[in-house]
Structure 1
Amino acid sequence: MIELEGLTKRYGETLAVNNLTFTVEPGVVTGFLGPNGAGKSTTMRLVLGLDHPTSGDVRIDGRHYDRLRNPLTSIGALLDAKAVHGGRSAFHHLLCLAQSNGIPSARVHEVLDTVGLTAVARKKAKGFSLGMAQRLGIAGALLGEPRILMFDEPANGLDPEGIHWIRTLMKSLAAQGRTVFVSSHLMSEMALTADHLVVIGQGRLLADTSMADFIERNARSYVRIRSPQRERLLDLLHGAGVTVVESGGGVLEADGGKAELIGELAARHQVVLHELSTRHASLEEAFMRLTAESVEYHAHSGTPLGTWTRRAARQEWGGGRRKGA
């Protein structure tokens, strides 16, 4: 498992990680979510000893990363798919990692096969697409058969088959009892992959809970209803204590999971229904609602390109021509 306790990191005046305390447990896929600039990548770097905390502590199965004798056999990670020497082949990149961590060279062939790169094993990494580089990075993470795996945007650059593959891989690793910690901005994928969520904003912990609980707490589920006998149905629903809002176009929305109650009520009073459907809240909706106050970079829809360009130019050039231009 990965344990963070009061983890804090400052870069000058910037507080990138703010007193984070949570545990990433084995046996489940834990999703790590947050807006851009929330501190996710910094947190992962701190876990791997690539940066040092200002205060607090982070341990990997009870030990600091720099105390691990052969770290790839304890924790495997993919943080940057392009962090590979471009002049090395996929095989020699992995062989170098294996030899530095006491891993048998036969394991290199196994992980290349696992990620589907056997056919290009002798090709130089500089010619790899982003998707191929992602697969190579995942192979490096799997190389030491570690009990803990950490991935930052693992689906980035992968085609639909590759996305399905990495999703299945992470679930199978968790099913083996391994700790799987994955950061991603793809909410649809995270909803299909993660069992547990850790959400941060502006470096602070916002949520540490199961996927189902997170959605239930932070988004709205409702029953959508359409009927040609709308006014009669409204009277019946109000009389039964069902809270209903009108959303336009003759559509009614009833909060909560009351589809069965509404259907039985309509049938009992012979009210015709043209639609009765339960609409479940999405992870994206719940995430947007929770992190609304933590978003650092806001885009504004509807701004004409020309208007944006002129405004950006004024900000960039200080309202006039920059000296030396």
Structure 2
Amino acid sequence: MIELEGLTKRYGEKVAVNNLTFTVHPGTVTGFLGPNGAGKSTTMRMMLGLDNPTAGDVRIDGKHYAQLKDPLKYIGALLDAKAMHGGRSAFNHLLCLAQSNGIPRARVHKVLDTVGLTAVARKKAKGFSLGMGQRLGIAGALLGDPEILMFDEPVNGLDPEGIHWIRNLMKSLAAQGRTVFVSSHLMSEMALTAEHLVVIGQGRLLADTSMSDFIRQNSRSYVRLRSPQRERLLDVLHEAGITAVEAGNGTLEVDGAGSEQLGELAAQHQLVLHELSPQQASLEEAFMQLTAESVEYHAHADHQPPSTADPGSPPPPGGTPPGQSWGATWQQPGKGN
């Protein structure tokens, strides 16, 4: 279990993490979401004692990280897959970690096999691809067989098979009763993996709820109807006190009535339906809706510069011509993402 209470981190006047309080429970995959600059990485670094909070507290199974003896046996983390000595082999990298935490040598062989790197165990890490480095980082997180695991962008660089593997691995770890906390910008992947969500924006807690409740609370659900007997269908819906909205292409959208109710109503009046489909927003749509006011870095669709200009060249003397913009809109970054 990971417990945060009033966790705050300031860098000068910049508040990267602002009074965060939530608990990551065992037995479920908890997704950690937020726009760029929201404070996710800073929060995870404070969980592991890599950054000291300005205020508040974070505990790992009731203790501060610094109080854990052989911490890899309590919590394993992948924050940066490149955080390794490139001149060491995969095996020796993991062996150093194991020896520093009282972990048997045999465990190194075990996790290398788990992540599929046994064949390259004696090769230097600097020659690894991004995906191979990611697998080695995951092996390091699993090394101490911990009850708590944290992953930051775990599918980065993995091929489809690897993505499928890490998704099932995280679900399996949670099913064993372990605490699994994962941060990712890939909403489609998070929707397939996480059961619970913690969402932050500009360092503040925006949501701490189940995946299904998050989508329901931050999006519109409706039923789409399409019938060759459209006018009669509208009359039947009106008589039943159900409001339908024209959606174009001959379709109707109905809020406040389930697909079962609408299907039975159509059957009672012998109406032919070509479509009866409940519509639910995706995680991405719900996330965008909730965090719209918390996005710190906005990209804008610029007008194209003159075709004779080099896209990488500076603006022409005298400024940018009216009605055109040059380059990307960029804001001074603050710490924490």
Please confirm whether the aligned pair reaches a TM-score higher than 0.5, indicating the same fold. yes
Q: Secondary structure at the match of 1:248?
A: coil
Q: TM-score, length-normalised on structure 2?
A: 0.90
Higher alpha-carbon deviation: 237-246 or 140-149: 237-246
Structure 2, gaps ≥5 residues long: 321-337
* Helix, strand or coil at the partner of 1:306: coil
| Aligned CA-pair RMSD | 2.0
Deviations along 1:10-40, one digit per CA (max 9) or x if unpaired, are 0111100000000000010000000111000
In structure 1, distance between residues paired with 2:168 and 2:256: 32
Alignment of 1:133-152 (within 5 A): 133-152=133-152
Q: Quickly say closer, same or farther: Cα 1:312–1:238, change in 2 above 3 A.
A: farther
**Alignment-derived partner of residue 323 in structure 1:** none
CA distance in 1, matches of 2:85, 2:257: 54
Q: Distance in 1 between matches of 2:199 and 2:142?
A: 25
Q: What is the alpha-carbon distance in structure 2 between the residues aligned to residue 311 and residue 255 of structure 1?
A: 49
Give the match's secondary structure for 2:293.
helix
Cα 1:37–1:246 change in 2 (3 A) is same
Listed one character per residue, the Cα deviations across residues 123-162 of structure 1 (whole Å, up to 9, x for unaligned) are 1111111111110000000000111000000011111110
Q: Is the 8 A contact 1:173 1:180 kept in 2?
A: yes
Q: Does 1:27 align with 2:27?
A: yes
Asked if 2 retains the 8 angstrom alpha-carbon contact of 1:221 and 1:257, the reply is no
Residues 1:273 and 2:273 aligned together? yes
SS in 2 for 1:189: helix
Query: Are 1:257 and 1:278, in contact at CA under 8 Å, matched by a contact in 2?
Result: no
Residue number in structure 1 paired with 2:122: 122
- Distance (whole Å) between structure 1 residues aligned to residue 217 and residue 318 of structure 2: 45
Matching of residue 187 in structure 1 with residue 187 in structure 2: yes
One-letter code aligned to 2:166? I
Q: Which residue in 1 is equivalent to 2:155?
A: 155
The whole-number CA distance in structure 2 between the counterparts of 1:312 and 1:227 is 56
* Counterpart in the other structure of 2:250: 250
Structure 1 residue 281: Cα displacement: 2.0
**Distance across 1 between alignment mates of 2:84 and 2:211:** 34
1:88 partner letter: R
Q: State the distance in 1 between where 2:242 and 2:49 align.
A: 54
Q: Which has the higher helix share?
A: 1
Deviates more, 1:89-98 or 1:272-281: 272-281
Match of 1:259 in 2: 259
1:118 deviates by 0.2
Deviation, 1:318, is: 10
Task: Indicate the residue corresponding to 2:208 in structure 1.
Answer: 208
Q: What residue in structure 2 maps to residue 96 of structure 1?
A: 96
Which residue number in structure 1 is paired with residue 305 of structure 2? 306
**Segments ≥4 residues shifted beyond 3 Å:** 307-315, 317-320
* 8 Å contact from structure 1 (residues 247, 253) kept in 2: yes
**1:132 maps to 2:99:** no
Question: Distance between the aligned counterparts of 2:198 and 2:25, measured in 1?
Answer: 11
2-structure distance, mates of 1:285, 1:312: 36
Contact 1:5 1:57 in 2 (8 A): yes
Instruction: Provide the C-alpha distance between the structure 1 equivalents of 2:257 and 2:126, rounded to a whole number of angstroms.
Output: 53
- Map of 2:3 onto structure 1: 3
Change in Cα spacing, 1:211 to 1:312, as seen in structure 2 (3 Å) is farther
> What do residues 188-215 of structure 1 show as CA deviations (whole Å, max 9, x unaligned)?
1111111110000000000001111111
Q: Which residue number corresponds to residue 165 of structure 2? A: 165
Q: Find the aligned partners of 1:60 and 1:78 in 2 and give their Cα distance.
A: 16
Q: Separation in 2 of the partners of 1:312 and 1:295? A: 29
Please give the alpha-carbon distance, in whole angstroms, between the structure 2 residues aligned to 1:82 and 1:5.
30
3-state SS in 2 of match to 1:215: helix
Task: Give the count of matched residue pairs.
Answer: 318
Is 1:35–1:296's contact at 8 Å kept on the other side of the alignment? yes
Structure 2 distance, partners of 1:38, 1:19, is 13
SS across alignment from 1:190? helix
1:62 is displaced (CA, Å) by 0.5
Change (3 A) 1:268 1:311: farther
Q: Distance in 1 between matches of 2:167 and 2:304?
A: 38
Cα offset, 1:241, TM superposition: 2.0
In 2 relative to 1, CA 137–310 (structure 1 residues): closer, same or farther, beyond 3 Å? closer
Specify the alignment match of 1:65 in structure 2: 65
Instruction: Report the 3-state secondary structure (helix = DSSP H, G, I; strand = E; otherwise coil) of the residue aligned with 2:3.
Output: strand
Residues 134 and 257 from structure 1, CA distance in 2 versus in 1: closer, same or farther, beyond 3 angstroms? farther
**Cα displacement (A) at 1:311:** 12
SS in 2 for 1:83: coil
Displacement of 1:319 in angstroms is: 4.8
Query: 1:202 and 1:36 mapped to 2: Cα distance?
Result: 9
Find the aligned partners of 2:256 and 2:153 in 1 and give their Cα distance: 34
Contact 2:242–2:257 under 8 Å retained in 1: no
Secondary structure at 1:22 match in 2: strand
Identity of aligned residues (%): 80
Alpha-carbon shift at residue 257 of structure 1 (Å)? 5.3
> 1:314, CA displacement in angstroms?
4.8
1: distance between equivalents of 2:239 and 2:313? 56
- How big is the shift at 1:270? 2.1
C-alpha contact 2:90 2:121 (8 A) present in aligned 1 = yes
Deviation at 1:304, TM superposition (A): 3.1
